[in-house]
Chains A and B, each alone.
Chain A
Amino acid sequence: MIPAALREIRKYGDLDWFSAQMPQEVRMKKIFYFTLLLFCAAILMSIGIPMNSSRAAEGTTITIAYSSNMMGYLEPCG
C-alpha cells in the first residue's frame, strides 16, 4: 500500500503541492506521508537528544558524603 502510494506521489513529483494539476487524492497522500515523516523524525530526535546529553553528562555525577550528630564520638558508639 505504501509503495503504491509513493509511486503515485512520484508521478506528480515535479508539480507544486497545491497545483491544480495534482489530483486531490494524491495531494492528501503527499501531505499525509510528509507529516508522517516529520513525526518519525521528531520521535527519533527526542530519543536521540537525551542519549546525547547523558553521554555529555557522564562524569557529572556528584557524590555528597554527609554526617550528622557525631557528638564527639571517634568510633561508632555501642
Chain B
Amino acid sequence: MVIVDSGDLLNEDEEIPDSVQQTTQLKAELIAQIYNKIGVDAVNVGELDLVLGLDFLKGLAKKQNFPFVSANLVDAKDQPIFKRYVIKKINGKNVGIFGVIGDTSEMTAKVSEITKGAASVQDPLKAAESIVKELAGKVDYMIALTHQGTNRDWVIARRVAGIDLVVGGHDKQKTKEPFEAGKTLIVQAGEKNQYQGMLEVTMDGTKTAHNTLLPYGDDIPSDAAVKKMISDYNDKVAQIYGGSSESKQAPANVALRLTACEPCHADQVKKWQTTDHAKAYDTLVKKSHQFDPKCLACHTTRFEQPEGFSMKAQQPELVNIQCESCHGFAKEHLTDMKPLPTPKPAVALCIKCHTADRCPNFERDYEKVLAKIKH
C-alpha cells in the first residue's frame, strides 16, 4: 500500500497562543510518531504545518521514517527546504510522489509571514513539470500531493502531463468519486480525520481506479499501541498543567461562576442545569480530553479570554458552557447592573462552536436545537 498525506497534518490554527505552544508541539510529535508506526510514505507540507515553526518542522522531519515533501517551498537561497519527491517500489512498480503548495498571493504572503521570510513559494506548475521530466521513464505511476485548493488542482492536472493522481488539500473537499481531468484523477479526503481515502489502481495499460472514502467512526477498532501513545501524550499534557489525565470529574462542591447570576435568574440557572451545556466539561473528562485546548475552547467559559478559563490556571469554576459563554462578559452587569453584551445571542455565536463539520444540520435545525436550551 502507498500511504500519503496532502498537508496541514499537524495543526489547525493560524496562530498558536503561547499558553498552548508546548502542547501543540507535543501533539505534532505524537502525530508524526503515529505516522511512523503506520508506515506513511510521504507527507506534503501545508501552510498550517509551518505555523509550528519552520525550524521545529525541519527538526521533526529529520526524526521520522517518512519524508515531508515539497518541491516548491524554498529557502532564502532558493534551495528546497524539504525533499522534493520520493519513489516507492510496490508490487514491482515504481510510484513517484512529490508535493507542492499553492502560490496564490494569499498563500505566499502567509508562508512568508509565518516563517518570517525564511521560506518562500515558487511556481508549483514549474516545480511539477520539472519533477515529471526528471522522473520520466523511472516511475510507473506519479502522485502529486498538492496543497492549493481544487481549482488549482484542475490546472496542474490539465497542464502537467504525466501526473496520474492529484491528492489535493487546503479546501477540504470530499471526493467520493474522483474528478477526472483527462487521464489524471483528483481526490481529496475532507478534513479533521473524518475520512480515509482509498484508491485501488489496476496497473494495466488503462490504470483504471476504484475510489472509496471511508468515514472514521466508533466502528473502526482502535490500535492498542497507538492508544498507548495517545494515553502517554495525555499524561504529558496533564503534567504540564499540573493535573492528571485520569478520568476525574470536576469537583462537585466547586461553585461555578454562574452562581453569581442565580440570585436574580434562578429559573434560568435551574433550566441550564438540565441542558447539555451544563455537562460539556464532563464529556471531555470521559474521553481524557480535559487538557486538550481544541476541546476546552468550546467546553469551558470564555476560554483564554480576560477572566475566562485559561490553560495555565485550569479554573474549575469556569468549566462547562455557562452564562457568559453566550451572553458575554458579565462583570459590569453584576457590579453596576449594566446590560449584558448579548442578552439574546444569534446563531452566528453558536456556530463558532457548532461548526458545520461537527454539527452538519445545526443552522437548518436551529429553532429545534434552540428549544433544548431556551430559558
Report A's interface with B, CB cutoff 8 A: 53-54, 57, 59-78
A54 to B95, CA, bound (A): 20
Q: Which of A61, A68, A75 has the most CB of B within 10 A?
A: A68
Query: Are the C-beta atoms of B1 and A63 separated by less than 8 Å?
Result: yes
List the B side residues contacting A63 at CB < 8 Å: 1-2, 198-201
Query: Are the C-beta atoms of A65 and B2 separated by less than 8 Å?
Result: yes
Q: Which of B8, B12, B165, B230 contacts A64 (CB 8 A)?
A: B165
Query: Are the C-beta atoms of B28 and A72 separated by less than 8 Å?
Result: yes
Q: Which of A59, A71, A72, A78 has the most CB of B within 10 A?
A: A72
Q: Which of A57, A73, A74 contacts B203 (CB 8 A)?
A: A57
Query: Are the C-beta atoms of B192 and A59 separated by less than 8 Å?
Result: no
Query: Are the C-beta atoms of A71 and B357 separated by less than 8 Å?
Result: no
Query: Are the C-beta atoms of B92 and A69 separated by less than 8 Å?
Result: no
Q: Which of B11, B189, B205, B358 contacts A71 (CB 8 A)?
A: B11
A65 to B40, CA, bound (A): 9
Query: Are the C-beta atoms of B5 and A77 separated by less than 8 Å?
Result: no
Q: Please provide the chain B residues from 306 to 340 with a CB less than 8 Å away from any CB of chain A in the complex.
A: none
| B3 at the A interface (CB under 8 A) | yes
A75 to B292, CA, bound (A): 12
What string of 1s and 0s marks CB contacts (under 8 Å) between B58-77 and chain A?
A: 00000000000000000000
Query: Are the C-beta atoms of A62 and B201 separated by less than 8 Å?
Result: yes
Q: What are 19 residue pairs bridging A and B, where the CB atoms are less than 8 Å apart in the complex?
A: A60-B92, A60-B204, A61-B202, A62-B2, A62-B95, A64-B3, A66-B3, A66-B167, A68-B6, A68-B189, A69-B172, A69-B189, A70-B9, A70-B193, A71-B8, A72-B10, A72-B28, A72-B31, A78-B357
Min CB–CB distance B96 → chain A (angstroms): 12
How big is the B interface, by class? Answer: 35 or more
Sample of 13 more A-B contacts, CB < 8 Å, known A69-B7, A78-B194: A59-B91, A65-B197, A66-B187, A66-B197, A67-B9, A68-B197, A69-B172, A69-B191, A70-B9, A70-B191, A71-B48, A72-B28, A78-B359
A64 to B48, CA, bound (A): 24
List the B side residues contacting A57 at CB < 8 Å: 202-204
Query: Are the C-beta atoms of A76 and B192 separated by less than 8 Å?
Result: yes
Q: Which of A54, A59, A62, A75 has the most CB of B within 10 A?
A: A62
| B302 at the A interface (CB under 8 A) | no
List the A side residues contacting B141 at CB < 8 Å: 62
Q: Which of B93, B143, B167, B215 contacts A68 (CB 8 A)?
A: B167
Query: Are the C-beta atoms of A77 and B192 separated by less than 8 Å?
Result: yes
List the A side residues contacting B28 at CB < 8 Å: 72
List the B side residues contacting A59 at CB < 8 Å: 91-92
Q: Which of B31, B48, B91 contacts A60 (CB 8 A)?
A: B91
Query: Are the C-beta atoms of A64 and B4 separated by less than 8 Å?
Result: yes
Q: Which of A53, A64, A69 contacts B201 (CB 8 A)?
A: A64
List the A side residues contacting B84 at CB < 8 Å: none
A65 to B213, CA, bound (A): 10
List the A side residues contacting B24 at CB < 8 Å: 72
